[in-house]
Structure 1
Amino acid sequence: MSPIEPDRETPALLVKLGRYPLHHGGLGVVRTLGRLGVPVHAVVEDRWTPVARSRHLGRAFVRPTGGTERPERLVAMLLELGAAIGRPVVPVATDDEAAVLLAEHAAELSGRYLLPPVAPGLPRRLASKAGLAGLCAEHGVDAPRGWTPGGPAELLALGREHGYPLVLKNLEAFTRLRAPVVGHTTVVHGEEQLRALLADRQEPSGLVSVLVQEYLPPERSEDWFTHLYCGPEGTAPLVFTGRKLRSWPPGAGVTTRARALPEPRLASLASEFCRRIGYRGVADLDWRLDLRDGRYRLLDFNPRVGAQFRLFETTAGVDVVRALHLGLTGRPVPVGEQLVRSFGVGQLDLPSAVVTAWRERRRPADLRPRWSTERGWLCADDPLPALVGAVRFGAAAAVRLRRF
């Protein structure tokens, strides 16, 4: 019998802004709480998203957003959904914009929602690439060198001065939806590629809302991440560590293959940083281990649930979403050791493995799922979302694969 005793009278609501219907992280939220008997509802783009077809979902609220709406409108939507549910709700954000909105409007939402006591402006600063760089410098956390060019001329000059490859990331939450420079973290290999990006992705003011980071090549680095939950009282957080093995697009995208591996030094770095900045709630931190000096460098701090959070679970059956619900409803979080297991997103991992093998002229590694693999989509007790996701995903994957 599971030692977890959740408050089954307090529902959860999956909160998302922007359009990304094929999101296995949101499906993981619905499944992990639904299996405990917690009522789970979700904001969805339409009734044929994988999340909307999950057997563990209570109600699907069809509220498509672009993330460019005025905050008052989005807050009114959340209050409307809270009223429809009819009792206090634990919101679970799956994107930075939703996490920022919940934090900055916590006072208005507190009548309907149970929220971590995080400083209202902190999630926006953490989600901002420039803001995070400032916090890293302030608290002595290693990070890659980075620059925030004011316009296209400065951006091109950075490439000439520091050389290629360079990594480009959209600078701020919300602006990545309003005026994205790149569709996702992008490795730029030369000035011609950079000019092509700038031709289509530029704000009317002439500014480019982008962070440029130094590139650490895979032969000299490893990708790691920490998923954590910091409780309302500021007690020792629940911290998981793991290594990213593959991503889509390869080298700079969403995790498609990963391994949960306890790494005490990295867990300590993440825990201490959160303690110093006073963070509360769930977070997903991306790190790069520089093999030249053995230092972990913090790449991103996502103040919300990470898409691959189900990679991580303790021997007591606790993941960060379950910990969040337990903590915000006043229930104890059972203590347990981190399990060592794998995670795979099959329909993304296969093209990633193929492209990576073609580029590096080697056979793909770690393709066969291990017995301990947690799958992003396939699930024996909830098969329909995987089928819906495969149908919607097929055409888009073919187009992307042809590009590579």
Structure 2
Amino acid sequence: MPSATPAFDVVMLGGDIGVYALARAFHEAYGVRSTVISRIATGPVDSAVIDNVLLGIGASNDDHISELLRRGRERARHEADRADEDRVPVILLANTDGYARLFARHRAELDRYYRISLVDETTLDRIADKGRFAEACERVGVPTPLTHIEDFAGADDPDWTPSELDLPFPVVAKAAASSEHELVDYPGKKKVNFVETPHQLADLWRRVRESGFRDRFVVQELVPGDDTWMRSVTAYRDHRGVVTLMCTAQVLLEEHTPSALGNPCAMITTPFTEAMDHARSLLDHLDYRGFANFDAKVDPRDGSFRFLEVNPRIGRNNYYVTGAGANVARFIVADLIEDRSPEPVTVTNEIVYSVLPKRLLLRYITDPDLKRHVKKIMRKGIVHPLVYRAEGWRRRGYVLVAKANHVKKFMTYYPKPTESGF
């Protein structure tokens, strides 16, 4: 760890590839091993740079908070006789919407033991819901697709009927709050629904209603274009209100399994100034704190951006930022440990980030110019978040199996590229 940086520890909740990418960033920058608290040990966090704490598959969110508070109290007792300057602070992080809300709900308790950079629950309510996000965008002039909100709050009433949709088909439908959608199950459940006709929409509303879902669904116009028209924006805004990090990427291919539809699995970092400006204006308007990850799409009809949603966290594929040269851990540490705003960084370096076999990825890039450019950048190497020299042979085997599984999933759910990405 650099001598100018005080000692610190890192604790995270979760077990996906995004949590591992954060742990890797801390290890690369500071040599710090992260403690990861999760229900079970998953492949990504079965790592040489992580100390896993497993609560069991049946552990609830309350169990996670109890474990955090227990560890915090134990640490406080251990350091009670130390001077303030000798106490080692602990950064607390997570990388799902549910955990972000859990932290916000228990912020007063957690602040006693941990350093957290996180939006408050009121702000979270304004942006985690995709419908309210669109409303916030409208206030500051950030463009979004035409949007319709379907509220299922009164769906227990036998006389309830869906509202009239004033959008042209096809449309895209998704739960306004993914954390609420995770609580229900129904036939054909998907993270994102491509709806071509009024009959299909009526059938979706019937299944959603019968599942007991009583929150809101967002229906939006379908912005044309395949996955390569999608853009990712990752930003960090510190507690002083300074946006210290901005990085954008063009999505090359997204996952197409029903439960993960829309998650990028390959990107190329490229600076998109207009998207950065829109993201910055929204973060400032909301007085946002911490990491934010925006999903946007370029409309091929006029080249304009359409912002779709914001994740109130760094995002599953955050290693594309670190891989492009802006180690994300440094921005957290500057804010929470060093108590300073570093010189703001706008990433301009181009890298290809991918968890896929090279041939599989190239198969789905149909634009000849883009394919040539991607191949050119690939010559510098492909950044894979799980491929890290500190890991051993077990990790190499896991990566090979994961790549093979991606081939199987694409052949099953998206065997050929389409113009719409659906």
**Bucket of the pairwise TM-score, normalised by the shorter protein:** 0.7 to 0.9
Residue 24 of structure 1: how far off its partner (Å): 2.3
Deviation at 1:305, TM superposition (A): 1.1
Secondary structure of 2:36's counterpart equals strand
1:44 positional shift: 2.9
Residue 217 of structure 1: how far off its partner (Å): 0.8
Q: Is the 8 A contact 2:146 2:167 kept in 1?
A: no
Contact map agreement 2:37 2:64 (CA 8 A) in 1 = no
Question: Aligned AA for 1:175?
Answer: E
CA distance, structure 1, for counterparts of residue 312 and residue 289 of structure 2: 9
Q: Which stretch of structure 1 is more off in the superposition, 103-112 or 132-141?
A: 132-141
Q: Distance in 1 between matches of 2:110 and 2:408?
A: 42
Is 1:398 the equivalent of 2:399? Answer: no
Aligned pair partner of 1:179 in 184, 194, 201: 184
Partner of 2:354: 345
Contact 2:104 2:121 in 1 (8 A): yes
Matched, 1:106 2:113: no
Q: Which among 15, 20, 25 is matched to residue 18 of structure 2? A: 25
Q: Deviations over 1:94-115 (max 9, x none)?
A: 1111112212321111111102
Going from structure 1 to structure 2, the CA distance change for 1:219 and 1:235 (only over 3 Å counts) comes to: closer
**Residue pair 1:230, 1:238 contacting (<8 A) in 2 also:** yes
In structure 2, the residue matched to 1:167 is 172
CA–CA distance in 1 between the matches of 2:161 and 2:5?
A: 53
**Residue of structure 2 equivalent to 1:256:** 265
Partners of 2:338 and 2:223 lie apart in 1 by: 43
SS in 2 for 1:398: helix
Q: How does 1:356-371 map to 2 (within 5 A)?
A: 356=364, 365=371, 366=374, 369-371=378-380
- Name the aligned partner's letter for residue 63 of structure 1: L
SS of the residue 1:50 aligns to: coil
Mark the runs of 5 or more structure 2 residues left unpaired by the alignment. Answer: 77-87, 415-422
Report the alpha carbon displacement of residue 281 of structure 1 after superposing the two structures with TM.
Answer: 0.5
One-letter code aligned to 2:98: E
Q: Determine helix, strand or coil for the equivalent of 1:237.
A: strand
Q: Distance in 2 between matches of 1:50 and 1:298?
A: 30
- Asked if the contact 2:386/2:395 (under 8 Å) is kept, the reply is yes
The Cα shift of 1:386 comes to: 4.7
Q: For residues 318-361 of structure 1, what are the alpha-carbon distances to aligned partners after superposition, in whole Å with 9 as ceiling and x for unaligned?
A: 3333311321112546545524222333338765655x47xx79
- Matched with 2:245 is 238
Q: Which residue of 1 aligns with 2:331?
A: 323
TM-score normalized by structure 2? 0.78
Q: Which residue of 1 aligns with 2:150?
A: 149
The residue that corresponds to 1:122 in the other structure is: 123
**Conserved? CA contact 1:231–1:327, under 8 Å:** yes
Q: Secondary structure at the match of 2:383?
A: strand
Q: Distance in 1 between matches of 2:401 and 2:227?
A: 38
Q: Give the letter aligned to residue 31 of structure 1.
A: R
Match of 2:140 in 1: 139
Q: How many residues align?
A: 387
Q: Is the 8 A contact 2:25 2:322 kept in 1?
A: no
User: Matches of 1:224 and 1:175 in 2, distance apart?
Assistant: 25
CA separation of 1:219 and 1:78: change in aligned 2, threshold 3 A? closer
CA distance in structure 2 between the partners assigned to 1:361 and 1:374 by the alignment: 22
Q: More deviation in 140-149 or 386-395?
A: 386-395
Alignment gaps of 5+ in structure 1: none
Corresponding residue number in structure 2 for 1:56: 49
Quote the Cα distance in structure 2 between the aligned partners of 1:258 and 1:40: 26
Does residue 65 of structure 2 align to residue 75 of structure 1? yes
Per-residue CA deviations over 1:111-154 (Å, capped at 9, x if unaligned) read 11102263332123211112212212233321111112235986
Alignment match, 2:84: none
Bigger radius of gyration among the two: 2
- SS in structure 2 of the partner of residue 285 of structure 1: strand
Instruction: Check whether the contact 2:224–2:300 (CA below 8 A) recurs between aligned residues.
Output: no
1:342-394 C-alpha deviation (Å, 9 max, x unpaired): 2333338765655x47xx79999447834153213223332533533554675
Contact residue 14 and residue 29 of structure 1 kept, 8 A: no
State the 1:282 CA deviation.
Answer: 0.7
Cα contact 2:242–2:341 (8 A) shared by 1 = no
Equivalent-residue separation in structure 2 for 1:141 and 1:363 (angstroms): 29
Preserved CA contact (<8 Å) 2:37 2:53: yes
Q: Provide Cα deviations, 1:288-313, integer angstroms capped at 9, x if missing partner.
A: 22243443221111110112222224
CA distance in 2, matches of 1:220, 1:349: 17
- Partner SS state of residue 269, structure 1: helix
The whole-number CA distance in structure 1 between the counterparts of 2:240 and 2:342 is 16
User: Counterpart in 1 of 2:81?
Assistant: none
The 3 A distance-change label for structure 1 pair 234 and 373 is same
Question: What is the aligned-residue identity percentage?
Answer: 20
Aligned twin of 1:40: 34
1:224 maps to amino acid? R
User: Which residue in 2 is equivalent to 1:92?
Assistant: 93
- Which of 167-176 and 146-155 deviates more? 146-155
What displacement does 1:240 show? Answer: 1.4
Judge conservation of contact 1:66–1:177 (CA < 8 Å) in 2: no
Q: Which amino acid aligns with 1:13?
A: V
Provide the residue aligned with 2:79 in structure 1.
none
Provide the C-alpha distance between the structure 1 equivalents of 2:178 and 2:329, rounded to a whole number of angstroms. Answer: 22
Q: Which amino acid aligns with 1:323?
A: F
Looking at structure 1, the residues matched to 227 and 12 of structure 2 have their Cα atoms a distance apart, in angstroms, of 38
Distance, in Å, in 2 between the alignment partners of 1:140 and 1:116 is 26
Report if aligned partners of 2:140, 2:285 keep a CA contact under 8 Å in 1: yes
Please tell me whether the aligned partners of residues 244 and 255 of structure 1 are also in contact (alpha carbons under 8 angstroms): yes
> Given the alignment, which residue of 214, 226, 251 partners 2:233?
226
CA contact (8 A) 2:144 2:308 kept: yes
* Cα shift at 1:190: 3.8
